[in-house]
Amino acid sequence: MKNIIFSAIVGFAPAMAIAGGHADFAGHGTGFRSDTKTIEATAGTHFMVTTNDVWIYDNPPEGFPAAQKAICTYFQVIATGQQQPSGGSGTCQAVDPDGDISLWNGVAQSDGTLAFSVTTGTGKWTALIGAKFRGKTRHSFGGASVYDFSPVN
């Protein structure tokens, strides 16, 4: 169960990949787990998963890349005796082929999606600070996931 939850979280982060008025900036991504840490506590378990991702945009606006790489870290808490997580969040750092940087933060939603936004960036990404996205895992398997994302605003 914990692996399924991690895969779901891993698949959400890349949705953190652009919008801000660009309704066509949807796409998909692939994440591969590169590190996992677990902390067992009296009241529950804390998970940290790091992934290496590739985000592929379906129809990027002019001047934006068709794809970029990201490193994402997701955090999740499961209370003792519970099957489902009580919450989760994720942060991604991406560098596009032009060398521009973007940082993304997201929060797991009760419907199984990840809501995230561009928190800061350089170059072309500065225009997208505050842009919101929603991501959902399409497939999870053996430490990897495939997910879809789309802009919300």
Please give the pLDDT value at position 85.
83
Please give the pLDDT value at position 82.
87
Please give the pLDDT value at position 24.
63
Q: What is the mean pLDDT of the chain?
A: 85
pLDDT above 90 covers what percent of the chain?
72
Contact between 35 and 64 under an 8 Å Cβ cutoff? The reply is no
- pLDDT tens for residues 115-140? 999 999 999 999 999 999 999 999 99
- pLDDT (average), residues 76-98: 91
Total-model pTM: 0.81
- pLDDT (average), residues 23-36: 89
Please give the pLDDT value at position 39.
94
Please give the pLDDT value at position 105.
97
The answer, yes or no, to whether residue 5 has pLDDT greater than 60, is no
